[in-house]
Amino acid sequence: MSLSELIAGVAAAERTLTVFNPRDGAVDRLAEHFKDRNVSVQAAMSDVGPSNYAVLGTGTQFHTAVDVTDVLKDAADVEPGFERESYVPILDHLDETLFTSYDRERMLNATREIEDRAWRVGAGELHAGFQTGANLRPQLESYRRLGGRDDLSVHAYIYPSDDVPKVEQFLLHLARSEEIRRSWFVVYDGNGVDDYKCALVAEERADAPGFRGFWTYDPSTVDYIRNHLQTTYSIIESDGDGHDMSGTPSSATKRS
């Protein structure tokens, strides 16, 4: 299953946020709050239970219920919201929910949170897709620092072009693949610890500016993405400057 197919599967599982006995424009405010997520917000009236509380579900599956004020408070502090300790309760159930219109700035902010986790642990594997060498260049210093971090193995993926940087501290995979050309991903394997595993997977939209994708803490999903990258873009022969010499889908280089 490709990264695009993974994203399509997440897109098919729309979640519904039902606001019972809403007041103070709660439905409209929540719809605006989640406008770039695959979450449908609707109102419902009930003779029992408090006013202005929300229930999150997927189809007939219940996830959580929370007061609307708890969802909306401190909204600026939970974007992009990867770190679980920064979540209000309902957001903790929105991993593996599609986001639909992240621009490059928001993608970078989200990416930083996964990179920071890898840095703090200082071991394991970090895989990051930059699409092009031009996108990788502004991040070179950060990835050189990450690549020099203890036992952390860092892999960067780009579609080969004339703008391929030389690297020493991490592995640079050159892949003549539409998946690499269109995808932005950051995957950390948690050094084998399930609680540390996390990933962001997105693709550049063809119909509008920005990216659509999802993030996940699910260990099996993170492992699947990592294994997909390793098996699809395996390390093969390359020259000393990081250029593919084989003509096959992928190559990588790391100079000691």
Q: Examine the domain organization and report whether 48 and 146 are in the same domain.
A: no
For residue range 201-236, what is the model confidence (pLDDT) as tens digits? 999 988 878 899 988 888 999 999 999 999 999 765
- Residues 178 and 238 occupy one common structural domain: yes
Quote the pLDDT of residue 40.
Answer: 81
* Number of domains comprising the chain: 2
- Residues 58, 163 within the same domain: no
Q: What is the pLDDT of residues 107-131, one digit of tens each?
A: 888 889 899 999 999 999 999 999 9
Q: Say yes or no: 239 and 141 in one domain.
A: yes
Asked if 131 and 85 sit in the same domain, the reply is no
127 within 8 A of 155, measured Cβ to Cβ: yes
45 & 22 share domain:
yes
Among candidate residues 40, 70, 95, the one where a domain is terminated: 95
133 burial class (0-12, 13-18, 19+ CB within 10 angstroms)? buried
Residue whose C-alpha is closest to residue 251's, from 152, 177, 189: 177
Q: pTM of the prediction?
A: 0.74
For residue 113, the SS3 value is helix
What residue numbers bound the domain in which 7 lies? 3-95
- The confidence score (pLDDT) of residue 90 equals 52
CATH, residue 14? 3.40.30
Which residues are CB-neighbours of 124 under 8 A, at least 6 positions away? 118, 151, 152, 153, 188, 189, 190, 191, 192, 196
